[in-house]
Structure 1
Amino acid sequence: MRLASFNVENLFNRAKAMNLESRSEGKPVLEKFAKLNELLAEDDYSDTLKQRMINLMIELGLEKSDEGPFVILRQNRGGLVKRPRTGGLQIVASGRTDWVGSLDLIQAPVDEEAMRNTARVMMDLQADVLAVVEAESRPALSAFNTGIVGGLGGIPFAHVMLIDGNDSRGIDVGLMTRESVSIGQMRSHVDDRGTNGQLIFSRDCPEFELLLPSRERFLLLVNHLKSKGFGTPAASSARRRLQAERVKAIYEELRGQGEKHIAIVGDFNDTPDSQALDPLLKGTDLRDAFEHPSFDDGGFPGTFGSCTAANKIDYLLLSPELFEKVTAGGVLRKGLWPGVRPKRWDVFAEVTKPVEAASDHAAVWVDLDI
């Protein structure tokens, strides 16, 4: 059985701000969007709070219209803002219950060739079980599976599953499997909370029971841990560590129940030497598939961007029993932009410029004799 994980990134639409040529351009937009949404959710709007909201709206291009270049303010019933003819903005609501609507990110289609290259990666992987990161929804993932993978001549996956997580941008984790591997029971951890009462997972840590032809029981946990892109490095690292600690606890609970075949996979957004991932990488008996003698990293230790050791952020963690069943493994970089001076690895002929890359991430895979 081939198990793979891939941060698909360019699947269908995504926030327009995330499609900018440089991530540094989109990051401030997303941070201001998140902060304004946080303020809009307050029960009472003080004068100070209103001014902060107005400042953010102006910075987001909402001074003259409900639609800015990257965000849209939907005022369905009850007014939030007024725009006097003399100019400026006024917050007329006194709290969240005074108006009905939302602040949303404007969506934009990704480059079509990038979308097709994402499908080509999935086709080349030939995975029986594929964990996907940064997919919008089950309908979108299912439509991509049949319309794009199938449209390019690939064999669509038989089963597609995705549970909505905590990310308001619709960036979730999901699963695609072949006919031979059906999806059994599922368990979501979307509501798991820390001691401070805050949600632990940025998306979710779903548990999928996989029913194999061999009748072996296989449990797969798919993760996308807190990124380094938003908030201070210390706060982001602390959040990832909290998430890693919770994943460890879930894993140990399953081991305590006698489960032997467990894999924890996905984009962990940190390197093996990071303290944030210590609970998983040093505090359990999980083994990284990259450490197996039969695993071929293609001459590059990383999985993201330039694939240096500092960019090893995608993982296939296996229980000891699964690690013993590994027969091969590797990193598929054919959809990842290789650079030009020099070209680091071979890619699809259709990847001629960065915007056509399937993702900023390579796909990782492992073959298991199970």
Structure 2
Amino acid sequence: MSLRLATFNVENLMNRFDFSGFRNQLQQDRTLSLFQIRDEAEYRLLEQARTIAHTDDTRQLTALAIAATRADILCLQEVDNIEALKAFEYGYLFKMVGQGYRQKFTTAGNDTRGIDVAVMMREQTRDGQPIEFVRMNSHAPLTYGELDLHTPQLALLGIEPHERIFRRDCLEIDVRIGGQPLTIYAVHFKSMGGPREGIPGRDATMPVRHAEARAVRHIIESRFSKDHAGSKRWAICGDFNDYRQRIVIGGDAEPGYDFTVVNEQGSALDILLQDGFAENIVERRPELERWTLYHTRGPQERHLCQLDYLLLSPSLAKRNSTAVPDIIRGGQPWRTIFPPGQQVERFPRIGWDRPKASDHCPVAVTLNMA
């Protein structure tokens, strides 16, 4: 009895327009910055036209990437709301997989842009076992003070104890797969952002992700108790916006790129992986094959890294000791630099930078649930 579980940051699955770029150039699409725009009314018309034209190709590619996961349960990040998810599933994904993901769940989290985590599920697995939804619980209201997670480092960022921990949510969903229990924690941690006063964005925002990771561990240990959490079946799925390794890319296309694995001194992931609390099963792949995102700010700053995770409880990981996740890279733009031997066939109409399925790659694994 198997379950195919996947996670995917679908990158701004929105059902509304964002006109903030008229006043904030940092949020303005580069296409519109090429043109002289007389006033906000004209900007709004052009932004609507640009977004609609761009979205159709993008969502076809997003659907192709999801279809390639062959997932029974799919955790998503950057979903606007349930209406956006339903429209995408009906208008795009349905054409790829048919009547698949009829069960859809999301809640309004804390993100100021309104992007949330979501979970889609089939009514049964591909081998015919029923997927039964049991319950859902949002942890978005939790504050630093409630869990005693406020630190001096957070105070330096201007964050108060009464503020909410999760930048989006930790969405807890209980299901039964052929009668066997499974708890899924869908997350999307604080983004790294750009440098702040000379401090790299990853370092500047690390205290927030540390608190989010501690909160997730507290939620699981409170639910199952510290002594018994390891024996239960649970998975933490999502975009952690952090990494323990990078593949730094040097050189150029001619005479050739070079790829160097760099281990980081610390990561928010350490909180969830230390003491064997959970296992990052993507680390079962060779080091050069673990990446789920290509980052670049130009030729002087390029690396591949893993931001997207399927963390399994010790019990679930042991039961699936030989399971190795798949990373779907056919939706990556042509600008992404692949290590030797990893080139894949891109989906139709993929562009140099866009359109693309997402800036992230889906991660999927087949789990034995017997």
TM-score by length of 1: 0.71
> What RMSD over aligned residues (CA atoms) do the two structures have, in Å?
3.4
- 8 A contact 2:172–2:186 mirrored in 1: yes
What displacement does 1:328 show?
Answer: 3.7
Deviations 1:178-197 (A, max 9, x none): 11223211111111001311
Deviations 1:93-127 (A, max 9, x none): xxxxxxxxxxxx99944431111010111111110
Between the aligned residues of both structures, percent identity stands at: 29
Q: Match for residue 291 of structure 2? A: 302
Q: Distance in 2 between matches of 1:210 and 1:340?
A: 37
Please, which of 122, 126, 150 is the counterpart of residue 70 of structure 2? 126
Please, which of 299, 308, 317 is the counterpart of residue 314 of structure 1? 308
Q: Distance in 1 between matches of 2:137 and 2:337?
A: 46
Q: Distance in 1 between matches of 2:134 and 2:241?
A: 28
**Are 1:361 and 2:360 counterparts?**
yes
- 8 A contact 1:328–1:368 mirrored in 2: no
Deviations 1:333-354 (A, max 9, x none): 1111143777943211231332
Q: Which deviates the most, 179-188 or 332-341?
A: 332-341
Q: Match for residue 348 of structure 1? A: 347
Deviations 1:253-311 (A, max 9, x none): 2331845001001000010243333211225520001133xx578x5331012698752
Letter in 2 for 1:320: P
Number of aligned residue pairs: give it. Answer: 296
Deviations 1:177-233 (A, max 9, x none): 1112232111111110013111101110010001211x1110000111000116733
Q: Match for residue 138 of structure 1? A: 82
Deviations 1:237-265 (A, max 9, x none): 11111111111111222331845001001
3-state SS of paired residue (2:185) = strand
Q: Which runs of 5+ in 1 are unaligned?
A: 31-63, 71-104
**Are 1:248 and 2:246 counterparts?**
no
Q: Distance in 1 between matches of 2:25 and 2:15?
A: 18
3-state SS of paired residue (1:209) = strand
Q: Match for residue 4 of structure 1? A: 6
Q: Match for residue 171 of structure 1? A: 115
Structure ID, larger Rg? 1
Q: Distance in 1 between matches of 2:21 and 2:314?
A: 40
- 8 A contact 1:162–1:173 mirrored in 2: yes
TM-score by length of 2: 0.71
Matches for 1:1-370 after TM superposition, within 5 Å: 1-13=3-15, 16=18, 28-29=26-27, 69=43, 108-109=51-52, 110-152=54-96, 154-180=98-124, 181-195=131-145, 196-213=161-178, 215-229=179-193, 232=196, 233=201, 234-256=203-225, 258=228, 260-272=232-244, 273=264, 274-282=266-274, 285-292=277-284, 295=285, 300-305=289-294, 310-326=304-320, 327-339=323-335, 344-370=343-369
Q: Distance in 2 between matches of 1:66 and 1:278?
A: 46
Letter in 2 for 1:185: R
- 8 A contact 2:139–2:170 mirrored in 1: yes
Q: Distance in 2 between matches of 1:237 and 1:361?
A: 20
Cα 1:288–1:153, aligned 2, differ >3 Å: closer, same or farther? closer
Q: Distance in 2 between matches of 1:262 and 1:363?
A: 19
Letter in 2 for 1:115: R
Q: Distance in 2 between matches of 1:288 and 1:6?
A: 16
Q: Distance in 2 between matches of 1:69 and 1:296?
A: 47
> Which is bigger in relative contact order (C-alpha 8 A, separation at least 6)?
2
Letter in 1 for 2:139: H
What displacement does 1:137 show?
Answer: 0.6
Q: Which deviates the most, 333-342 or 353-362?
A: 333-342
